[in-house]
């Protein structure tokens, strides 16, 4: 998509020699080489990664265990070391606390600002321009019912021409609404373009990729955080059909990443840092929905890759702190943790499962349709000229959205406001009153028929809602993936709230015994979200926490299940996975079973007719030989063998480590020349003094490379790559080294078997 | 412990030749070799496991994928095959539905029966002996307050001597109470001893072990199910200090295992079956607490070993169906899913976190103390004569429990009834009324001072509760691990409810502004449970679902966290892990990080001075040679090498497969004699006709054995064993085979490093 196109541009420009760090975006993630380490590292740079590479989970975890062992053994020596050891053990919890506090505060700030700026599109408060509509009218001593018409709040027409009645005032308000919307969205897109290209989009596909072990420097940096926070407010306020949930996850992950720098333990270890990011993602969902348990499950089910039980507990803590902080800030003014709290406790009947399942089917169909259309549009944007004019695109989409949105009462207000207002009011009141309420609501716009119960007003509302639904559906397809922060949740939920309203209104006007409408809205929203994201348990738990209704788990489950089945029958991928594939991120899907019957020998390099594998011998190659190999090949590492003839594997050495070590030795170690022999053995033979001194590199040799036999089924190889988080794996036959399989080879192989272009997989 | 002692006895008796199946308990789990398979297996028995062995997860999952591929490829051939394919895909969901229905029904049955039998200890209903106290009094038209004194319900003294007043009646009731209790518990212990020794205890340690890949035939069989269901009712009714939660998980797992036999997919695959069992465990917790989400998290966090995301969704479905079924049966008569629903929504103050954390500390201390004492007692039972008289032990403990319990109002009633009654009544009422309530409650027993608010009645209640707490604490230590089905949850919860009551009563009588007492009870219960089981997220979620109070997550979390930290500081293991270790089950703990710096070469066999590893060559050994190796060694498998000299690894062959294949070949294949050469190669050389015909065994050779180098750190080896579920791993050095590490070696090594007896690890 357009948004990710920019990520690629960022990537391809600084693709300079291997030893250079990308200095983009202040280099938030490459601090590893600058700081002092607790454990002295022999060479700076050894053991770090380049940008757009995959980390080696096994090595990272080993390093952390070494660190831990060191601290534990030192803790017996002195009191200071003991304190250090204890503080090290608690640093994880402290970090979670900070992440929770920061994510909660930012979410509160975003909510308050977005609320104010959304209202700014319609008018301004005379008592102080920084008050939003609701706050403004709190100040005046009007009653609750009249609070929308308080004297301090002036619509733009009232402010400019002095009154709010008539066609001219309407047109003036309309114009101001569109102008503000355009202003906000243009500001957002320019900020993103100018300062932090990574701040665009939902961010969840990229975070999934990062959590699976990929490195994108600056994606979770401080500039991204600042710009994303600002532009998220602008984008939501502009009235575009997008939600703040995905971006909030991104914001929370940025917080997590930045706060990691406070603690050596997390700053210097990519695997540990990813544990923190998983927890931060949970905190992000937690503040987006006020659903701490749902957030943790979302992180577990959808976002995270490596999620040990320890992380589960910590994530829960972070999510809870974040939700609690948000509640203390109280941006919704109802002192609830929950955004759309419902009070109804009407039991539902077993027969109602039929409509719930129908809702599920509809949700699944909508989800599959949405994913297909959105992906087709994003691909078009990527391949045609369209992608070259992101600002123009945002301008056009915002203009269309604003122009279409204003005349319709239901699309004019902000999305989340609409959901919660409709939901709350009708949830508490009796359902028949609700119909009257809809009637009343419309009567303020011209239908002066308050006495005719469920008359034309209901039908007007139905039509408006149906139109709103159709409009939202189409606009959202074009909006998601634009170069502004955009989430998906709320729009797809909204779509269905509307839809349900229609169903409900239809039923209720027939006079039969009315069914809790809020429940249908809730179930419909779950079905749609399920269809789009393919979430399961986390979806049900989020919906249940969102509304606080413990008794509605069964309907939610039924709809979510049907929706997922339906959507899976049409296309296997959820929206995030579809975007990952579209952008060619090296993400090894953990949910899909690899079901083909290929063997390791079919995937490994070299292929059958290729020249043999490039190897380094353990005690017979000179510095020059090795440098030639490094310059002639682009592999990220080389196997070390006993001798070329025997091909018995000794270990594996990374290209990056090799370059750094040789460079360093040439500079600092006397007597290292091009003819020096490199030894990877434990003991090197005594050399005659005439020989140039030798270079011992056993310390950078990985003595425990993973190996599989050439006959190993690829399903097992894929499993090993997934579960152990490998970067590469060597292939042997009867004890002889035969080839190598990298994560990229595995991904290409999977793409090939799925009849996709294997070269769509980018990066290493 | 006594209970597990019997498991061992069962094990050691049928430890007969490798090819024989244990026929114990009807052999529910060994159906694999009897049934027709969809995929034709060349030899029956190849690919199955012996009792008390560990499964190979990789192989099992591979076999399931093969099966799936077969079905998918056939599905294109005919409509029938297509239907088969679709039904195969949905069989998992159908199975979950059945498990949910069965587990929910059984739980309902158990609840109703236990309720009735508990009341039977105190009296009988004249309107029909099958009514319990509550039902009996529903029939009579008395008001709610008088329902305890309805005419149809007769206490034993009323029935026998005609009235319920005076010392003689009291003694008579006392006596009947003790007799019934003894009768129930003796019946329970005799049933367990006579019919299903596996039905004793909580079952969770064994289920954890089974889920990690161990095979205990009959542990989840139909006899165990029947006997456990009956004896659980008896044990709960007898008034012993035990809960039904652990046993309900066992019952649900039995249901899951038995229902697996309906579907080939699950009957024949040990790995798939374990996925089902994980879901069944979730259903068990779900019905025990009415907490479907908590159940799933419990299964994920505490019980399960391999828990893919697919299982998460299915577990949730099973747990929900089970909870819904139980609610439909409605054993508590309040049409709630939740056992101890609380209605209070009083906000809590931030300052209250201090007492909550203190509760956490107390809970942690109590948990650590309980685990130590209980393990010490169980070890004593195991090593001394005590273990030989299980029936006597149960008799004595029941007698003491009953004698101590009757005089105290709070211990006389059934544990769960007590919790829910105290909780509910005081939750709804105002807290100052609650104090009066306690007062009123006691006044019915003699203190006729209803007007004196919070007077002696409160203090009496306090003393009674304190006594009850102390008694419960000590009795539970001796009860858990006895040879009757016993759970832990409710007792430890109860203990704390009491304790809190004390705290609360003390505070409230001081006249200050009273604090929601139910909340303290809830938090205290969470702290105690956390200390004993070391559960984290699942505990908080269970408590929250149990009571329905979304706003109390933070206090629960604070207490659970402190409690876990406190208890972990004293001893790392939770009660289940401690029992697993006590019994020497081969369970590879996934939570604890392996933190030592040993290498694979330190753990592998053969050790440094041992004779070299027993290997089989690929094309030079005769049937007799191999049979000699099989008879002289007890290893469960042998590596196959190119030649003894080169020690280049070709594959791995399992002892069991080898025995079965040779036996089969000798019987059925012409010309196989002791001098026949066994070929594991792909192509065998043409033999002169004078030679005996050769035996080709490539089909049973595992061509992709896992290998690590001798320099691999043990932390990585442990990680591989855990994550891939290996049974054994071969060790190489520079491409030469050097040794082998089995799961048992790993467990022994871990035990050794923890200064434990490595021979305490039993089984293979």
Q: What is the mean pLDDT of residues B131-159?
A: 67
ipTM over 0.95: no
Task: Pick from B293, B324, B559 the residue to mutate for testing the A interface (most A CBs within 10 Å).
Answer: B293
Asked if B50 contacts B655 with a C-beta cutoff of 8 angstroms, the reply is no
**Cα–Cα dist A99/B242, whole Å:** 41
Closest alpha carbon within chain A to B337: A551
What are residue A201's DSSP bridge partners? A485
State how far the Cα of B56 lies from the Cα of B724, in Å rounded to an integer.
9
Residues B675 and A40: their CA atoms lie apart, in Å, by 62
Choose from A618-632, B19-33, B125-139, B148-162 the range with maximum mean pLDDT: A618-632
Cα-based distances in Å from A648 to A345, A658, A730, B648, B649: 70, 21, 12, 10, 12
Interface of B with A in 94-123 (CB under 8 A): none
Question: pLDDT at residue B513 above 80?
Answer: no
Residue with tokens 């030639």: A628
**CB A65 to CB B595 under 8 A?**
yes
DSSP symbols for B216-255: -TTTTSHHHHHHHHHHHHHHHHTT-S-BSHHHHHHHHHHH
Pairing of strands A677-679, A621-622: antiparallel
Tell me the sheet residues that pair with A695: A678
Minimal C-alpha gap between B441 and chain A (Å): 32
DSSP one-letter string for B253-294: HHHHHHHHTT-HHHHS-HHHHHHHHHHHHHHHHHHHHT-HHH
Q: Chain B residues with CB inside 8 Å of A648's CB?
A: 734-736
The residue with greater pLDDT, A707 or B419, is A707
The residue in chain B having the minimum alpha-carbon distance to the alpha carbon of residue A306 is B723
Predicted confidence at residue B491, as pLDDT, reads: 44
B316 touching chain A per CB within 8 A: yes
CB contact under 8 A, A704 and B711: yes
**Rounded Cα–Cα distance for residues B702 and B714 (Å):** 24
- Is residue B164's pLDDT more than 50? yes
> Considering CB atoms only, which of B540, B548, B651 is closest to A550?
B548
What are B192's two structure tokens?
């367990």
pLDDT at position B447, please?
36
Comparing CA positions, the residue from B236, B181, B159, B151 lying closest to residue B418 is B236
- Name the token pair of B640: 């196959």
- Please indicate whether, in this complex, the C-beta atoms of B557 and A647 are within 8 angstroms of each other: no
Residues of B in contact with A557 (CB under 8 A): 316-317, 320
CA distance A247 to B394: 60
Residue B69 sits at the chain A interface (C-beta within 8 Å): yes
Inter-chain Cβ pairs, chain A and chain B, closer than 8 A: 154
What number of H helices and E strands is found in chain B? 29, 11
Q: Which of A499-503, B75-79, B225-229, B612-616 has the lowest mean pLDDT?
A: A499-503
Give the whole-number percent of chain A exceeding pLDDT 90.
17
What is the chain B residue with the closest CA to A639?
A: B734
pLDDT in tens, B254-285: 999 999 999 988 988 899 999 999 999 999 99
Q: What is the pLDDT of residues A350-389, one digit of tens each?
A: 777 888 888 889 888 888 988 898 888 888 888 888 778 8
H or E element, residue A637: strand A637-641
Q: How confident is the model at residue A149 (pLDDT cuts 50, 70, 90)?
A: low
Going by the DSSP 8-state scheme, the letter that residue A697 receives in this structure is: -
Percentage of chain B modeled with pLDDT above 90: 18
A286 and A319 in contact (C-beta within 8 Å)?
A: yes
B345 in reach of chain A (CB within 8 A): no
Question: Where would I find the beta strands (DSSP E) of A284-384?
Answer: none
Looking at the complex, does the CB of residue B309 fall below 8 Å from at least one CB of chain A?
yes
pLDDT in tens, A715-731: 899 989 988 888 899 99
Per-residue pLDDT reduced to its tens digit, A586-599: 888 777 778 888 99
Higher pLDDT, B172 or B1: B172
Confidence grade of residue A12 (pLDDT, cut at 50, 70, 90): very low
Beta bridge pairs of residue A487 = A243
In this structure, the strands spanning B736-742 and B728-733 are: antiparallel
CA pair distance B465, B166, nearest whole angstrom:
25
Identify all chain B residues contacting A271, using CB atoms and an 8 Å cutoff. Answer: none
Residue B423 has pLDDT above 60, yes or no: no
Contacts of B591 (CB under 8 A, 6+ apart): A309, A310
Tabulate helix, strand, coil % of chain A (nearest 5): 60, 5, 30
Checking if the pLDDT of B97 tops 60, the result is yes
Question: For residue B292, which residues of chain A lie inside 8 Å, CB to CB?
Answer: 553
Q: Residue A24: its pLDDT value, please?
A: 34
Tell me: the pLDDT tens digits for B29-59? 333 333 333 333 456 667 778 778 888 888 8
Give CA–CA dist A227/A692, Å, rounded. Answer: 56
3-state SS, residue B346: coil
**Are A744 and A764 within 8 A, CB to CB?**
yes
Alpha helices, DSSP H, located in B645-697:
655-668
Nearest CA in chain A to B706: A708
pLDDT-wise least confident of B367-381, B493-507, B722-736: B493-507
Residues A732, B37: Cα–Cα separation, whole Å: 34
* Pairing state between β A616-617 and A637-641: parallel
Separation CA A585–CA A663 (nearest Å):
32
Provide the 3-class DSSP secondary structure of residue B671: coil
DSSP type of residue B690:
T
Closest to B90 in 3D by CA, of A378, A402, A562, A751:
A562
DSSP per residue over A580-649, as a string? HHHTT-----SSSPP----BHHHHSBS-TTSPPPP-EESSSEEHHHHHHHHHH---SEEEEES-TTT--E
Q: Which residue has the higher pLDDT, B29 or A6?
A: A6
Block residue for tokens 């008579």 = B172
Q: Which tens digits make up the pLDDT trace of A254-298?
A: 999 999 999 988 988 889 999 999 999 999 999 888 888 899 999
The answer to whether the CB atoms of A646 and B735 lie below 8 A apart is yes
Q: Model's pTM, two decimal places?
A: 0.85
pLDDT at residue B729, rounded to an integer: 93
pLDDT band at A574 (very low <50, low <70, confident <90, very high): confident
- pLDDT range class, residue B505, cuts 50, 70, 90: very low
B77: left (phi over 0), alpha (psi -120 to 50) or beta: alpha
% of chain A at pLDDT higher than 70: 76
CA dihedral angle for residue B107, residue B111, residue B113, residue B114, rounded to 10 degrees = 130
- Scan residues 676-705 of B and list those with Cβ closer than 8 Å to A: 703-705
**Cβ-defined contact of B536 to A736 (cutoff 8 Å):** no
Lowest-pLDDT range of A27-36, A499-508, A568-577, B618-627: A27-36
Nearest to B636 by CA among B743, B747, B757: B743
| Number of neighbours of residue B698 by Cβ within 10 angstroms | 18
**Radius of gyration for chain B, computed over Cα atoms and rounded to the nearest angstrom:** 30
> For B180-218, what is each residue's pLDDT tens digit?
999 998 998 888 888 888 888 788 899 999 999 888 888
A542 versus A11: the higher-pLDDT residue is A542
Residue whose pair of structure tokens reads 């065998």 in the numeric block: B684
Question: Which strands form A695-696's sheet, in the order they lie side by side?
Answer: A621-622, A677-679, A695-696
Compute how many other C-beta atoms are within 10 angstroms of the C-beta atom of residue A430. Answer: 12
Q: Are residues A115 and A331 in contact, defined by beta-carbon separation less than 8 angstroms?
A: yes
Residues 6+ positions from B631 with CB-CB distance below 8 Å: none
pLDDT at A102 over 50: yes
């Amino acid at each position: 998509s357009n948004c990710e196109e920019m990520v690629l541009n960022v990537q391809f420009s600084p693709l300079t020699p291997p030893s250079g760090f990308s200095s983009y975006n202040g280099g938030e993630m490459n601090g590893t080489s600058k700081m002092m380490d607790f454990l002295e590292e022999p060479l700076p740079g050894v053991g770090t990664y380049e940008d757009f590479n995959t980390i080696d989970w096994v090595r990272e975890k080993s390093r952390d265990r070494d660190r831990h062992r060191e601290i534990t053994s030192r803790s017996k020596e002195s009191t200071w070391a003991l304190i250090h050891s204890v503080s090290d053990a608690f640093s994880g919890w402290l970090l979670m606390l900070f992440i929770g506090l920061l994510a909660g505060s930012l979410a509160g700030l975003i909510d308050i600002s977005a609320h104010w700026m959304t209202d700014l599109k319609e008018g301004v408060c005379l008592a102080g321009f920084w008050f939003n509509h609701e706050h403004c009218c709190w100040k005046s001593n009007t009653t609750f019912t009249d609070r929308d018409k308080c004297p301090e709040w002036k619509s733009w027409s009232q402010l400019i021409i002095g009154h709010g009645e008539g066609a001219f005032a309407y047109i003036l308000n309309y114009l101001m609404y569109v102008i503000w919307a355009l202003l906000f969205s243009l500001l957002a897109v320019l900020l993103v373009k100018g300062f932090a290209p990574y701040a665009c989009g939902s961010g969840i596909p990229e975070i999934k990729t990062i959590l699976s072990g990929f490195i994108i420097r600056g994606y979770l940096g401080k500039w991204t955080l600042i710009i994303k926070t600002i532009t998220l407010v602008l984008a939501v306020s502009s009235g575009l059909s997008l939600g703040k949930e995905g971006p909030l996850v991104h914001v929370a992950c940025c917080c997590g990443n930045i706060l990691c720098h406070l603690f050596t333990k997390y700053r210097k270890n990519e695997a540990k840092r990813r544990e923190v990011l998983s927890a931060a993602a949970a905190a992000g969902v937690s503040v987006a929905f006020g659903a701490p348990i749902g957030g943790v499950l979302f992180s577990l089910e959808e976002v995270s890759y490596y999620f040990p039980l320890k992380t589960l507990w910590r994530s829960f803590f972070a999510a809870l702190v974040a939700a609690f902080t948000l509640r203390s800030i109280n941006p919704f003014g109802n002192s609830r943790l929950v955004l759309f709290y419902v009070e109804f406790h009407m039991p539902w009947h077993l027969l109602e499962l039929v409509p719930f399942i129908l809702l599920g089917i509809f949700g699944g169909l909508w989800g599959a349709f949405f994913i297909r259309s959105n992906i087709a549009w994003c691909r078009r944007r990527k391949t045609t000229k369209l992608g070259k004019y992101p600002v123009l695109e945002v301008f056009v989409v915002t203009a269309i959205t604003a122009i279409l949105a204003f005349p319709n009462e239901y699309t004019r207000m902000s999305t989340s406001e609409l959901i919660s207002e409709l939901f709350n009011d009708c949830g508490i009141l009796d359902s028949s009153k609700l119909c009257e309420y809809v009637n009343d609501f419309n009567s303020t716009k011209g239908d002066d028929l308050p006495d005719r119960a469920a008359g034309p007003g209901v039908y007007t509302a139905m039509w408006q809602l149906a139109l709103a639904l159709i409009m939202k559906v189409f606009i959202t397809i074009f909006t998601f993936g634009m170069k502004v922060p955009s989430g998906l949740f709320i729009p797809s939920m909204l779509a269905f709230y509307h839809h349900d309203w229609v169903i409900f209104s239809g039923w209720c006007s027939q006079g039969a015994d009315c069914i809790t409408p809020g429940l249908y809205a809730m179930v419909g929203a779950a079905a749609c979200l399920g269809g789009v994201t393919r979430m399961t348990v986390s979806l049900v738990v989020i919906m249940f926490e969102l509304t606080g209704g413990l008794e509605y788990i069964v309907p939610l489950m039924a709809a979510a299940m049907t929706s997922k089945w339906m959507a899976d029958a049409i296309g296997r991928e959820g929206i995030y996975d579809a975007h990952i594939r579209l952008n060619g991120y090296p993400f090894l899907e953990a949910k899909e079973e690899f079901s083909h019957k290929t063997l390791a020998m079919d995937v490994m390099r070299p292929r059958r007719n290729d020249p043999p594998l490039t190897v380094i011998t353990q005690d017979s190659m000179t510095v020059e030989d090795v440098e030639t190999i490094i310059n002639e090949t682009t592999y990220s590492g080389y196997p070390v063998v006993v001798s070329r003839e025997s091909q018995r594997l000794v270990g594996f050495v990374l290209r990056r480590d090799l370059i750094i070590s040789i460079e360093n030795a040439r500079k600092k170690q006397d007597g290292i020349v091009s003819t020096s022999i490199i030894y990877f053995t434990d003991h090197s033979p005594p050399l005659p003094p005439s020989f140039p001194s030798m270079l011992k590199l056993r310390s950078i040799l990985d003595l425990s490379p993973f190996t599989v036999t050439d006959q190993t089924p690829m399903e097992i190889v894929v499993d090993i790559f997934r579960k152990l988080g490998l970067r590469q794996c060597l292939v042997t036959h009867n004890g002889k080294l035969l080839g190598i399989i990298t994560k990229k080879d595995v991904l290409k192989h999977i793409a090939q078997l799925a009849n996709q272009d294997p070269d769509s997989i980018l990066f290493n």
